[in-house]
Structure 1
Amino acid sequence: MPIPHAVTKFNKAVGNRLLIHLAGHGPFVELEHVGRRSGRTYRIPLNAFRHSDVVTLALTYGSRTDWYRNVVAAKGCRVRMSGHWLTLGAPRPVSTEEGMRRMPLIARPILRTAQVTEFVELPVLSEEPAP
């Protein structure tokens, strides 16, 4: 079971505005996606981990979040990671076991406690330095 919906609402209203400033530091990235209905560009902070030509994300709130549904509909997004903007392709599900293996050791017990079971990988299509 992913993190409860009430936490999602709080993070959307408050937490994301604070955490976006951590993007580009450590595992925090800034994910840029386009609203599937509004066409607006949104930026949210997430934890993401690169493994050569893919970026792996733990879907801590499950696959029904707006940002994830927008990325699926658009068949991709961009992330600012380690001083670069990465253009990513369509997300592909990764098994729970494989997703956990791709997470840092320190994150695994936290994800298990939160009962996170959904992971996705997105292929890196291009990379450019972030200004």
Structure 2
Amino acid sequence: MQIPSVVATVNKHVTNRVQGLWAWLIPPWAVVLHTGRTSGRAYRTPVVGFHTPQGFAIPVLYGPHTQWVKNLIAANGGEIRRAGRRHQLIEPRMIPAEEITASGVAGRYTRAGTWTLVATIGPRI
């Protein structure tokens, strides 16, 4: 399931600003810190993610051409703030959602979209 782009626009300008205030404190919410590919500007994007056998998995519900996904892949990583801690995201990659082998809520949620961004959680920053 891919969410319509109009929802993404509203989330970018309204919802993300509110969620960004608390998402980094309450798992499964987290905040991805990434740098713009052309602007070099620092961005913060609230996401929901889970530890899975494939790595830290973040469902990409707006499609694989989402800007934060492109930024992470182009930079070969970024950072994530979750549960009050900051870690490196290493070697992010897109995989088809059906390849996620997690079970329970993590499995259902990470397979909700068509694609999932998977990365290795690196050392704490």
Q: How far apart are the structure 2 equivalents of 1:83 and 1:35? A: 24
Aligned partners of 2:42 and 2:71: how far apart in 1?
Answer: 10
Map 1:95-106 → 2, pairs under 5 A: 95-99=96-100, 101-102=101-102, 104-105=104-105
**Residues 1-80 of structure 1: pairs in structure 2 closer than 5 A:** 1-23=1-23, 24-51=25-52, 54-80=55-81
Instruction: Give the distance between the partners of 2:72 and 2:43, measured in 1 at CA.
Output: 11
For structure 2, the residue ranges without an aligned partner over 5 or more in a row are none
Give TM-score scaled by structure 1 length: 0.82
Match of 2:61, SS state, is coil
1:104 is displaced (CA, Å) by 4.5
Q: Does 1:118 align with 2:106?
A: no
Letter in 2 for 1:38: S
Shift of residue 103 of structure 1? 6.5
Q: With structure 2 as the length reference, what TM-score do the two structures score?
A: 0.85
Number of residues of Structure 1 aligned to a counterpart in Structure 2: 124
SS of the equivalent of 2:58 reads strand
Q: Which runs of 5+ in 1 are unaligned?
A: none
Measured on the aligned residues, the alpha-carbon RMSD in Å equals 2.4
1:63 and 1:84 map into 2 onto residues whose CA distance is 26
